Amino acid sequence: MADRRPEKSCEQACESLKQQDYEVAVKHCTEALLSLSQYPPAHLPEPCQAQIDRIKIETLLYRIASFLQLKKYGQADEDCRHVLGEGLAKGDGSFRAVLCCMHLKGKLQIVSNVLSKSLMGESL
C-alpha cells in the first residue's frame, strides 16, 4: 500500500481523540475510510490487505468513540455493526490482533474509556 493517506488520517484521528476534538477526529476517520474504500480487496497481496484491515478497524473504533462523545448514537451503532460484523465474521483473529496491537501502542485506552462509560451508563 503505497498511499499513506489512510494511515496518516487514522493517526490524526487518534491525536484528535486524545485532545478531545471529536468533530475533527470524525473528519479524519471519514477521510481514512474513504481512502481505504479505493482499494479493491480482491486485487491486493495479503500483507497489504492485512494492513488495510488494521487501519480500517482502528479508524472505525476511533470514529465510534468520537460519535459516542458527540452523542451521535445511530452513527456509532452503524460503525459498530461494521467493525464487529466484518471483524468477527472473518474468524481469523485479525480483529483481536488489531486490539492487541492498539493496546501495546497505548492507543486502545482512550477508546476503552469512552466505551466503558457508555456501557456503564455514565454520562459522556
Per-residue pLDDT of 21-54, as tens digits, reads: 999 999 999 999 999 988 776 677 777 888 888 9
Span 78-86, mean pLDDT?
89
Q: What is the pLDDT of residue 122?
A: 62
Its CATH class, for the domain covering 5-120, is: mainly alpha
Among candidates 114, 105, 118, 115, which has minimal Cα distance to 11?
105
Span 91-115, mean pLDDT?
89
pLDDT over 60 (residue 123): no
Q: What is the pLDDT of residue 116?
A: 82
- For the chain, strand residue ranges (E) read none
Read off the DSSP letter of residue 42: G
Q: What is the pLDDT of residue 3?
A: 66
Span 119-124, mean pLDDT?
64
CA distance 96 to 41: 20
CB count in 10 Å sphere of residue 89: 9
Q: What is the pLDDT of residue 2?
A: 52
Among candidates 23, 101, 104, which has minimal Cα distance to 62?
23
CA distance 32 to 23: 14
Q: What is the pLDDT of residue 5?
A: 87
Residue 22, C-beta contacts closer than 8 angstroms, at least 6 positions apart: 16, 66, 69, 70
